[in-house]
Amino acid sequence: MSQKIHLDTDIGGDMDDVAALALLLKWPDLTLTGVTTNAESNGRRAGYARYVLDHTGHQQVPVAAGADLSEGYFRYNELGYPPEAENWPELVAPQPNPTDEAVELLRASVEQDAVLVGIGAFTNFMLLDQKYPGILRDANLYLMGGYVYDIPQGYPQFNREDDWNMQLDVKAAQYIFDHADPTLIPLTLTAQTALRHADLPALAEAGWLGKLLVRQAEVFARTEDLYGRYGPTSPALPSDFINFHHDPLVCAIALGWREGVSIETVPLKLEMRDTYLYETPDANGRPTRLVTTVDVEAFNRFWLDVVTAP
């Protein structure tokens, strides 16, 4: 039986959003009911999503630009983008639209019983539930974000303020905890995954989409140099490390991938500290589904196998 999924993304920044979309497009027996974008800049991110879908034969998948930076929801009024001429084979046209079109696309996906996956800020989900109160209460919602337990030694020691998806719009994050029942795949786990230079030859043979991933990976490695920044103090990172698979891991778990995956219900207390949202285990907190373990090596192989499959 075909699965259904809706992706809410901030594609166009860190390349792992494209890696996540690639996983969905190559996943067997999957219907992508829609793609919405957040932290938008007049449809720029929606344009990127549309471009990937159109060039991989998925013109039927609807795309809508969601909450825009100009609307005041986010911590920042401006966000930088990687160099477009280097990341994309050609100039990509923005696809602007009223934010409410993204809300309606999300609603349509909920009505189709699609799994909702958020790999950016949670703003569009908040706007959906504010327009249709209670719609998220029973929705099957998976979110990339959260920082509950410490990152194991050997990996980059990010802190809670680095939890981009949670902290970019803290009001939306708080709203989702109060009005929905999400499963969180936290930064503390996704920071153990790895896209490696060793993966690029196989991707280069995987058609247009694989070549796009290679292109963006090479640009990302040069401009971000995450291994140069974290490698000397993070011996668990492979020496040919390029980037984390934050968003692809969330998509895989949302669709039922379970190698080494443990999901626990943890009571969490949320509190604001200096404009940042902290979630900590507390016996009187809100019961929250939290992914606590993953076989990250198995996932790295799985992602590559799916994306490079014929």
pTM greater than the 0.85 cutoff: yes
Chain segment 216-240, per-residue pLDDT in tens = 999 999 999 999 999 999 999 999 9
Residue 20 has pLDDT above 70, yes or no: yes
Reported residue count of the chain is 310
Rg of the chain's alpha carbons, rounded to an integer? 18
Residue 247 has pLDDT above 70, yes or no: yes
Give domain limits for the chain.
Answer: 3-307
User: In this structure, are strands 3-9 and 115-119 parallel, antiparallel, or unpaired?
Assistant: parallel
The CATH number assigned to the domain with range 3-307 reads 3.90.245.10
Provide, for the chain, the percentages of residues in helix, strand and coil under a 3-state DSSP scheme, each rounded to the nearest 5.
40, 20, 40
Half-sphere exposure of 176 (CA within 13 A, CB side): 32
In angstroms, the CA 171 to CA 129 distance is 13
Q: What is the pLDDT of residue 1?
A: 64
- Is the separation of the CB atoms in 39 and 67 below 8 Å? yes
289 burial class (0-12, 13-18, 19+ CB within 10 angstroms)?
middle
Chain segment 44-82, per-residue pLDDT in tens = 999 999 999 999 999 999 999 999 999 999 999 889 899
Torsions phi, psi for 116 (to 5 deg): -100, 130
Q: Averaged over 161-184, what is the pLDDT?
A: 96
- Is the separation of the CB atoms in 156 and 234 below 8 Å? yes
